[in-house]
Structures are given as C-alpha cells and as structure tokens.
C-alpha cells in the first residue's frame, strides 16, 4: 500500500542538512504566512496545511512550499486543478495564496524511494498570477534554490521593474533638490563607489550624531556641519578608492573634478539629511540590485532615465543601447574567455559590461582567468569627461576594468596606437549619431576607426541609423565602399523602430556585423535579418520593457537564424550586395504568404474598396442640368 509518509521522510531528511533555512510542517510561526493559508484548503473549506514550509532568515522575500504524494501517478494533473489529489496541484494552490506577500517556489514531490522520486518546481513571484517552471527533476541544496531564484529571468524582470520605478522616484527627488540633470548620474556613481568602502558604509549614518555629554552649542555645531562633512567625506572616500585601484594621476584628477560639485552643492552640503537619506535609499534600492544581478549597466539605465525627463545630451548624439541589445551583441560576436573587447564609443560601458559577463561565464569559475579578463581584456575610449567618469565608475562597481578606459578622442593617433598594442579581438560600438551639421563625424567613420584597432579576423558589431545602410550617393556611400574594400560585411539586422524609445530618440536603426581586415569578396552573400519584434512593449512609467518575458525565446530565434544563415520568408534572406545597394532585409525579403489568412484578405480588400469609393466621390463629375 502506498505510504505518503515515506515521501515526506525523504524530503525532510534532504532539507534537514541545510542550516541556513527554517523548516516547518503544516503551519508556520510566521503570522503572515498563517494568515495567507487560512483559506487555502485543498478541499476549499478551511485552512491550508502544506507538508513543508521552508523560509530563509537571510531573505525574507522567499518561501518554499512543498506537497508530497506517494504514487508517481498522483504527481501532476493535466489542468493542475485537482488540489487534494496531486502533489504539484496542491503546491501551486498554496503558492497562489502565499504569493500575495511572498515570492514562492512551489515543489511537488512524488515517489516512495529516492530512485523513483519525481520532483517538479514552479516559481510564482509576488503579485503575479501565473507560476513558471524552474529547475530540473531533483531536489537541490538550499543555496542552489536561493541562487536559482535570485538569478532567474523572472526575478530579474521583477527587480528590474522595481529599479525603473525607483529611478523615476529618485529623479523626482533630485529634481526637487535642484540637482542638475547632467550631475545626477555622477552623484549616484559616486555614492555607489563609496558604498564599496566598508568604513564609509558603517560611518555615514552617524554623521550629525551627538553625545549626551555634548553641550548644546556642540550639538548644534555637529548637526549644522554634518551635511558638509558628509559631502567631503563621500568625495574623499571615492578619490581614495580610485587611487587605490591604480587609476593614473591624470585620470584621477579628471574624475575628482567631475565629482567636486558634491562638495559645494547647496542641497547636498548644507541641508540636513538630504545626502544621508539619498545614500541610504541608493544602498537599499540600487546597490542591492547590483549585488544580486551582476554585470548589468545600472548607471547607463539611470542615465537613460534622467535623460527621459530632461534630454540635455540629445544634441550631442548620445543614444544609450538598451541592455538586452548589449547582451545580444556579445552573443553575435561569440565572445569567449579569450576575447579582448574594445568599444571606441564607450558611453557608460554597457557593451563592455555585457562582454565581461559573457567572458566570465566562459571562464567557468577559473579565478585567475577572471582576474585577467577584468584587468586586461576590456578596453574603452570615451570623449566626454562626465560620461567617462560614469564608465570608470561603472567598471569599478563591477570590480575592475576601469584602468583600461581612456578619456579622449578615438581618432587620436596616440590613442589608436595604445589600443592596438592591446590587440583587441572583438569590437563593439554605438557611435554618436550625427547632427545636421555638415562637418559632423559620420557614424561609419567610427565603425572604420574601431576596426582599424582590431586584429585580423576579429568581429565588429555596431548599431547605426538605418540611413547609413541605405545611402547610395555622397559621403556615406563612399564610406560603405571603404568598408567593403577593407572588411567583410557578414550581416545587417533591421532593429525595432522604437528601440531607443527610453532615450527619447526616434531613430530607426540596424545592427551591422563585420569581419575585420578581410576584404569583402564579390561573390560572398551577406545575411539580412528583419528583426523588428523583440517582444518589448511600451509602459507609461517604465518605458520600453519585456513585460511578457518574450525576449529570451526571440533572441534564440534571431541567433539561430543568423548563425546558420537561414533564409526565411518575411524574416531573413542571404544576398550578394555592393556599396551601391541598400543594406537592409526589407529590400530583398520574400513575402511570407504562409502567415496570410482569410481575415487578412477580407480586411485588405475592404480597406481597398472603401478608399476607392472615397476617391470616386471626391472626383466624380457633377451632372449637367
């Protein structure tokens, strides 16, 4: 006879090995959990009593709920709606109630022996309706559950949305304190660097504190001086941190100048608790995000957010690449642990951070290799001093790479020589988009500059305005000719029309992929992709986001098509082109008639008839009387 107690005993013994969790059965000492389970009975008439409730003292957001069944045939029903009969169904029922206040991992377990044990996991985040499948068919360690939850795409999306909401609130706060838009990201980066210093992190809440032995005059003086002392201590801490990180003196002087406004800003250095409260909020909302989700261009995201409300740098052509596209670049270029990545238009460092992430993943825990990657294999050039400061800060926050960020023009012969000496094997760039001025540097000139520094056979991936791909006359046409004379055009991918919506820029763009220093052969086909739908949608507060979690699947489809050079009607095509041709999928793709339906036909025909009738009415000849 089947015995469910055997299943429960297997689960109990498995989790009892881990000291970092609290295991409870049937009920919890946490009043919030018990309240949520009060009406969660599997039979619909009372309190829910899960086999196991597991909580993490160091992470109060997450709980695990487990239901067991002896028979494997009672593991999971097709509709998952037989709550009292099936393990998974019951676990998901409890998760639906508990997820009103917690993130929940629901586990269904069936089987009476370890050998036959069947395990299914689902993650249901707080406030979300639908659970998603996560993990494989086996029980994991407590630390693996916590790590898997924290790094899951679903948790990232939840945290990212929270970050976007916070950055809007933060922007409003900074605006109310009259801190200039151009200085806001610098302030945040300065605070994030300072919070890396344990002494500063422990001391900043104490500024302005008084002792009972202090006289009234001493108390008043301490309170009055606290904002200025904290502002000075903040900047001094960052200066020392960067100095200890082997930033050269000339670079350090530049960075100190960029951060110096904090010492004298009226709100930050004279008003009580303004700076202190900012530091606390940034530590809680931004620093915690960085620690959980490594290798994400947080400062770039903040910069985009601030520009959305006061696009003071729009005239300078700054268009920051969305994070999902910087990650896509790293995969297009097939970055690995031995790559040396170079971005000659670094911005806040988003491409280099995505490359670092991919390289470290490939290093597979090799600490010496990871140290080498961060120290020597990430190179960037940024012209604007305040953006340079953000790039250095961003790389510092991600533990290294800042010493290879150069402040200056990527066209400077000395900088070209310095970069070439490092022998970069992968090039990335989103060049400044030119204004209407005739003497403005063209985007394709930056592309040529990047590839000039790469070793032969390197991949260069760039995103440029579509007009660069379409030009058939003039300067841009001549640049296209030069590109093909020196390098191979591997692919051109048409991007979503509103890709840069969050940067308040309406440019239509495309990604170009080149192989450096190998002239384009006349009979070589180029891959063209019509990659117009990345699954992102616009939201009023958050901007353009992956609200439905579609990006991962779409990205896989894009990469599969590109890497295998698949021709697919309405989606991709391979074509021999010259500089005189338009470099875009739209010019060569076949129509995908397989997607046409009777409804499409009726709608199109109806629209044609209505337009035709309207035209005839407007142009009919009056009848003679």
How high is the pLDDT of residue 625?
A: 30
What distance, in Å, lies between the first and last C-alpha atoms of the chain? 100
Strand 543-545, strand 525-530: pairing: unpaired
Tokens of 192: 């994030």
Among 1-10, 122-131, 569-578, top mean pLDDT goes to 569-578
The per-residue pLDDT for 389 is 87
Least confident of 237-246, 436-445, 600-609: 600-609
**Closest residue by Cα to residue 282 from 272, 290, 294, 270:** 290
pLDDT at 26: 86
Q: How far apart are CA 340 and CA 404, in angstroms?
A: 11
Q: Is a pLDDT exceeding 80 seen at residue 216?
A: yes
> What does the alpha-carbon distance between residue 572 and residue 101 come to, in Å, rounded to a whole number?
45
Separation CA 284–CA 201 (nearest Å): 12
Percentage above 90 pLDDT, the chain: 52
Question: Which stretch of 222-226, 296-300, 369-373, 510-514 has the lowest confidence by average pLDDT?
Answer: 296-300
List C-alpha distances in Å: 259 to 234, 263, 268, 390, 614: 10, 8, 12, 10, 64
Statement: residue 623 has pLDDT above 50: no
pLDDT score for 367: 87
Question: Which pLDDT score, from 0 to 100, does residue 591 have?
Answer: 66
Give the range with max mean pLDDT: 429-433, 453-457, 591-595. 453-457
Q: Residues with Cβ < 8 Å from 579, sequence gap 6 or more? A: 477, 480, 481, 483, 484
Confidence tier at 44 by pLDDT (50, 70, 90): low
Residue with the bigger pLDDT between 490 and 299: it is 490
Q: Is pLDDT larger for residue 309 or for residue 245?
A: 245
pLDDT band at 599; cut points 50, 70, 90: low
Percent of residues, the chain, with pLDDT higher than 70: 90
Question: DSSP secondary-structure letter at 70?
Answer: S
Q: Answer whether 45's CB lies under 8 Å from 86's CB.
A: no
SS3 call for 462: strand
User: Facing residues of 575 across strands?
Assistant: 526
Can you tell me the mean pLDDT for 556-583?
95
Please list the helix, strand and coil fractions of the chain in percent, rounded to the nearest 5, in that order: 50, 15, 35
Torsion, CA 125, CA 129, CA 135, CA 138, rounded to 10: 110
Residues 6+ apart with CB under 8 A from 484: 519, 520, 578, 579
In this structure, are residues 381 and 343 in contact, taking their beta carbons and an 8 Å threshold? yes
User: Which tokens belong to 354?
Assistant: 């995505």
| Separation of alpha carbons 577 and 480, rounded Å | 11
- Where does the pLDDT of residue 308 fall: very low under 50, low under 70, confident under 90, or very high at 90 and above? low
d(CA 341, CA 428): 7
350-363 and 367-376 helices, crossing angle to 10°: 160
Supply the pLDDT for residue 43: 67
Residue 595 pLDDT exceeds 60: no
d(C-alpha 383, C-alpha 409), whole Å: 5
Q: Report the pLDDT value the prediction gives residue 239, as an integer from 0 to 100.
A: 92
In terms of pLDDT, which residue wins out, 249 or 260? Answer: 260
What distances in angstroms separate CA 367 from CA 146, 361, 374, 377, 379, one per listed residue? 23, 11, 11, 15, 20
Range scoring the smallest mean pLDDT among 66-70, 207-211, 305-309: 305-309
Pairing of strands 118-124, 132-133: antiparallel
Pair of tokens at residue 314: 């729009």
More confident residue, 438 or 58: 58
Per-residue pLDDT averaged across 335-353, rounded?
93
Query: Can you say how many angstroms the Cα of residue 213 is from the centroid of all Cα atoms in its chain?
Result: 51
Backbone angles phi, psi at 451, to 5 degrees: -70, -25
Residue 596's pLDDT band (cuts 50, 70, 90):
low
Find the angle CA(423)-CA(429)-CA(431) to the nearest 5 degrees: 130
- State the pLDDT at residue 624: 35
When pLDDT is cut at 50, 70 and 90, the band that residue 237 belongs to is very high
- Residue 41 is predicted with a pLDDT of 73
**For residue 478, is pLDDT > 80?**
yes
Which residues, at least 6 apart from 599, have a Cβ–Cβ distance to it below 8 Å?
A: none
Lowest-confidence segment of 123-127, 140-144, 159-163, 277-281 by average pLDDT:
159-163
Contact of 399 with 245, CB cutoff 8 Å:
no
Lookup: tokens for 511:
């990604």
More confident residue, 4 or 39: 4
Tokens 């979690």, located at residue:
549
Q: Which of 263-267, 308-312, 404-408 has the lowest mean pLDDT?
A: 308-312
On whether the CB atoms of residues 58 and 68 are closer than 8 A, the answer is no
Looking at the DSSP bridge assignments, the partners of residue 123 are: 105, 132
In this structure, the strands spanning 525-530 and 488-494 are: parallel
Q: What local confidence, expressed as pLDDT, does residue 34 receive?
A: 85
Cα separation, 585 vs 596, whole angstroms: 20
**C-beta neighbour count of 280 within 10 angstroms:** 14
Does residue 298 register a pLDDT over 80?
no
Please give the structure tokens belonging to residue 294.
Answer: 């490594």
Query: What would the 3-class secondary structure string for 267-285 be?
Result: HHHHCCCHHHHHHHHHHHH
Q: How many helices (H) and strands (E) in the chain? A: 24, 17
DSSP designation for 321: P
Q: For residue 556, how many other CB atoms are within 10 A of its CB? A: 11
- Give the pTM: 0.76
Whole-number mean pLDDT of the chain? 87
Whether 598 has a pLDDT exceeding 70, the answer reads no
pLDDT for residue 505: 73
């Amino acid at each position: 006879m089947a015995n469910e107690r055997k299943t429960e005993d297997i689960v109990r013994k498995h989790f009892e090995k881990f000291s970092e969790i609290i295991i409870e059965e049937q009920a919890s000492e946490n009043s919030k959990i018990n309240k949520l389970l009060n009406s969660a009975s599997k039979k619909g008439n009372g309190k829910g009593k899960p086999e196991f409730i597991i909580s993490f003292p160091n992470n109060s957001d997450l709980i695990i709920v487990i239901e067991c069944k002896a028979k494997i045939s009672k593991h999971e029903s097709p509709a998952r709606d037989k709550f009292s009969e099936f393990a998974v169904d019951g676990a998901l029922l409890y998760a639906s109630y508990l997820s009103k206040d917690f993130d929940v991992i629901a586990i269904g377990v069936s089987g009476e022996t370890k050998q036959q044990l069947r395990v299914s996991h689902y993650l249901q985040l707080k406030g979300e309706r639908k659970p998603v499948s996560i993990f494989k068919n086996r029980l994991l360690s407590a630390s693996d559950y916590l790590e898997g939850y924290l790094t899951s795409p679903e948790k990232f999306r939840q945290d990212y949305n929270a970050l976007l909401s916070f950055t809007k609130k933060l922007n409003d706060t900074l605006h109310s304190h009259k801190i200039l838009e151009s200085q806001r990201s610098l302030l945040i980066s300065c605070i994030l660097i300072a919070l890396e210093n344990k002494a500063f992190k422990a001391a900043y809440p104490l500024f302005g504190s008084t002792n009972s032995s202090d006289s009234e005059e001493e108390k008043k003086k301490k309170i009055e001086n606290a904002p200025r002392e904290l502002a000075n201590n903040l900047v001094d801490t960052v200066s020392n941190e960067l100095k200890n990180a082997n930033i050269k003196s000339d670079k350090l002087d530049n960075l100190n100048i960029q951060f110096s406004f904090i010492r004298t800003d009226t709100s930050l250095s004279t008003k009580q608790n303004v700076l202190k409260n900012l530091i606390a909020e940034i530590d809680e909302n931004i620093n915690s995000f960085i620690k959980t989700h490594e290798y994400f261009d947080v400062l770039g995201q903040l910069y985009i957010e601030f520009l959305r409300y006061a696009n003071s740098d729009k005239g300078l052509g700054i268009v920051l690449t969305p994070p999902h596209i910087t990650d896509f670049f790293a995969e297009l270029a097939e970055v690995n642990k031995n790559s040396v990545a170079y971005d000659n238009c670094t911005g806040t460092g988003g491409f280099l951070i995505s490359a670092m992430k991919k390289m470290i993943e490939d290093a597979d825990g090799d600490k010496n290799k990871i140290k080498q990657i961060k120290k020597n294999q990430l190179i960037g050039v940024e012209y604007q001093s305040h953006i340079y400061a953000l790039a250095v800060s961003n790389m510092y926050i991600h533990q290294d790479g800042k010493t290879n960020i150069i402040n200056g023009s990527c066209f400077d012969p000395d900088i070209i020589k310095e970069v070439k000496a490092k022998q970069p094997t992968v090039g990335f760039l989103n060049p400044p988009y030119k204004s209407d001025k005739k003497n403005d540097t063209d985007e394709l000139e930056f592309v040529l500059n990047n590839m000039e520094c790469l070793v032969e056979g390197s991949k260069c991936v760039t995103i440029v305005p579509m007009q660069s791909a379409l030009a058939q006359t003039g300067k841009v046409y001549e640049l296209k000719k030069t590109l093909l004379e020196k390098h191979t055009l591997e692919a051109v991918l048409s991007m979503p029309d509103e890709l840069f919506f969050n940067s308040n820029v309406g440019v239509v763009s495309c990604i170009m992929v080149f192989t450096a220093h190998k002239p384009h052969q006349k009979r070589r086909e180029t891959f063209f992709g019509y990659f117009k739908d990345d699954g992102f949608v616009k939201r009023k507060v958050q901007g353009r986001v992956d609200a439905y979690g579609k990006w991962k699947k779409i990205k896989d489809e894009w990469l599969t098509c590109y890497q295998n050079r698949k021709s697919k009607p309405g989606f991709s095509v391979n074509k021999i082109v010259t500089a005189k041709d338009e470099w875009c999928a739209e010019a060569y793709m076949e129509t995908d008639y397989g997607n046409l339906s009777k409804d499409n036909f009726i709608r199109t025909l109806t629209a044609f008839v209505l337009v035709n009738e309207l035209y005839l009415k407007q142009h009919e000849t009056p009848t003679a009387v």
